[in-house]
Structure 1
Amino acid sequence: MFSLTVADHIMVAHSFRGEAFGPAQRVHGATFVVEAEFRAPKLDDANLLVDIAAARVELRRILDEIDYRNLDEEPRFAGQNTSTEFLCHHIHGALAAAVREGRLGESGRSVRSIKVLMRESPLAWAAYEADLA
């Protein structure tokens, strides 16, 4: 299986509901490095998995929707704890849609799975990965 990864970063504010979150129940900021890994069993005729520029543009477009935002105020996240794991899943869904809609170029149609990894620090990160339906 071939893979190609692009990365970017975001800064958000949010809070969590529930005693398990301790002081993180208060509004706080987080800076994440976001990595999106695309996997495919074969390369296209030009030996590309996906157009790396298109992948970077698409990841940035998705991240722009939440970057520098208080996620507590975003209607699409109403009632959700926007944990790192939750955000990985959210970004994965948007990237999967981009692949299905052909926004990663013709070669992107061979992508079979995506992994989204978010690093909150050099010591802590979370990821979500799944095959594309």
Structure 2
Amino acid sequence: MSTRIFRLTVDDHIMIAHSLQSPFFGPAQGLHGATLSIHATFERAGLDEHGVVMDIGEATGLLDQALAPLRYANLDERPEFEGTYSTTEKVIEHIAETLTSQLPEGHGLRALEVEAEEHPRARAEVRVELV
């Protein structure tokens, strides 16, 4: 019998401010705002006893909790990004770490992915293997 991999994705967005203070980042060195569309995908082999990857309300709530401290924040002032550049990649890494730490015991998930779209032509994604 073949294994079926199921995925559930929930979406949200955050509005942030930040600066990327290195010549590498060109005009983004100055303080500027960004709106990031965030997609969190939960993955499991097969379905749980209720026939789902996980409850959609639970997934949405976990994402909301992970994003709450970042909403309308100046990331230059957030301790989570002290000593690093608050790039889209670092933002999604932080969100993925937060989501991973919030998962309930015995969740049965095999992976978690977080994607952020900066604009229609650019996005970044990170995948965390949970097993």
What one-letter code is carried by the residue in structure 2 that aligns with 1:47? G
4+ residue segments displaced more than 2 Å: none
What one-letter code is carried by the residue in structure 2 that aligns with 1:38? F
1:39 aligns with 2:43: yes
* Counterpart position of 2:27: 23
Give the alignment's TM-score, normalised by structure 1. Answer: 0.91
* Counterpart position of 1:129: 127
Name the count of aligned residue pairs: 127
Gaps of 5+ in 2: none
Picking from 43, 52, 56, the partner of 1:48 is: 52
1:69 aligns with 2:73: yes
Give, in angstroms, the shift of residue 130 of structure 1: 1.8
* Counterpart position of 1:79: 83
Task: State the distance in 2 between where 1:80 and 1:30 align.
Answer: 18
Identity of aligned residues (%): 39
SS at match of 1:85: helix
SS at match of 2:46: coil
Task: State the distance in 1 between where 2:92 and 2:79 align.
Answer: 18
SS at match of 1:65: helix
* Counterpart position of 2:15: 11
Give, in angstroms, the shift of residue 122 of structure 1: 1.1
* Counterpart position of 2:100: 96
Gaps of 5+ in 1: none
Q: Residues 85-119 of structure 1, C-alpha deviation per residue, up to 9 Å, x if partnerless? A: 111111010111111x34xxx6xx11110110000
Task: State the distance in 1 between where 2:27 and 2:114 align.
Answer: 27
Q: Is the 8 A contact 1:42 1:110 kept in 2?
A: no
